[in-house]
Structure formats: C-alpha cells, structure tokens
Amino acid sequence: MVCLCAGAMAASVFCIFLEVFHIAKLEHQLNEEIRDKEVRVIGAEGDQLGIMSSADALKLAFEKDLDLVKIAPNATPPVCKIMDYGKFRFEQMKKEKEAKKNQHVVEIKEVRMSPNIDTNDFNVKLKNAMKFLKEGNRVKVTVRFRGREMAHTSIGETLLKQFGEQCAEVATVEKNPKLDGRHMTMFLSPKTAK
C-alpha cells in the first residue's frame, strides 16, 4: 500500500513538474539554448554586429547584462538579437491584453414573449431588443406557446414578423420565424454602420 501511494505521489509530482515546465516553455530560444555554430547578431539598439559564433554572441550579451534571443531561426545563419527578454515579454503581454480589451464580443441576447402579449409589454420588449441591437449584439426573439396556444401558432408568427418590422431601422432579420417544439424563434442582427 505504501509503495502504491509513493508511486502515485511520484507520478503526481512528475505531472506537476511537467505542467510547470510546459508553462515556462518559451517561444524563443534564449542564451544557452542557442546551439547554432554561427549566428547573425543584432545589437540592443538595432545595429548589425555581424556574423559570429553563438559563444561570442552570448559573451557579448552577458557583458551588457542582457539576453541573447533567437528571433529568426529559419534564416541562414539564424538571426539573434541582444535584448532584455523579460521587458520584451512584458510589453508583448501588455499589447495582447490591450488588443483583447479593445475587442468587442458579439453576444446573443434573448427576448421572450407569449402570443397573447399586451401592447405595452410588447413595446417594452421591443425597446430592450433595440438597446441590445444598438450595442452591437444579436437578438433571439422567442414566442413560447402553452397548452391550447399550440393550435394558433400563426398568431406567434405574425407577432414575430411585426417585431422584425418594428426593429427594421436598426436590425435585419437574420433567420425568419421558425417553430421548434413549443417555441417559435427569430434572429435579428444589427445593421452595420456605413
């Protein structure tokens, strides 16, 4: 039993080690990882330092207290740059975060109604749908039928078509009303600004 637990413990520690190693794996080869015979070296300010052995390039980088980073591994000879890699990664992550922040994710908002909805309730639902569409989101309009209402699905279809017509100035009907079980749905998507 002890051997089994020790084996399981060793396996879990090994898995954790692999996970940490996987996280720490870098996109670029750094310093001692560069094993090419000759490399073309670019200085910290962007100036060409010429072709030299990787050991000489590494020595040059360490003298300036910077890292040697392989930036073009497929070139002949491979191109390496002397830079502060930690600062470079920080700036890259900052740019990625900024790009993600400026990205707008289109969501699908849903508006639910019943076939015997009152006029004021219909207008409230319409107002909410218009707000969602102006924000750039798609809208799924659903009419739910209960009991005997299933015999009058044409009322729901008329209601959805009327809803689509009312939203015509800010939206286009992406999918026409379709009955699916006890629900009839229609999709609206915002009109693109020209």
Domains (ranges, CATH) in the chain? Answer: 28-100 (3.10.20.80), 108-190 (3.30.110.10)
Bond from prior residue into 77 cis (ω within 30 degrees of 0): yes
pLDDT of res. 140? 92
CA dist list (Å): 188 to 62, 91, 100, 170, 172: 60, 40, 26, 10, 6
Which residues are CB-neighbours of 185 under 8 A, at least 6 positions away? 140, 141, 142, 143, 175, 177, 178
Which residues, given as ranges, of the chain have pLDDT below 50?
1-26, 194
> What pTM was computed for the model?
0.48
- Tell me the pLDDT tens digit for each residue of 56-68: 888 888 888 888 8
- Tell me the pLDDT tens digit for each residue of 70-114: 888 888 888 988 988 888 888 888 888 888 877 767 788 899 999
d(CA 37, CA 54): 6
pLDDT of res. 36? 83
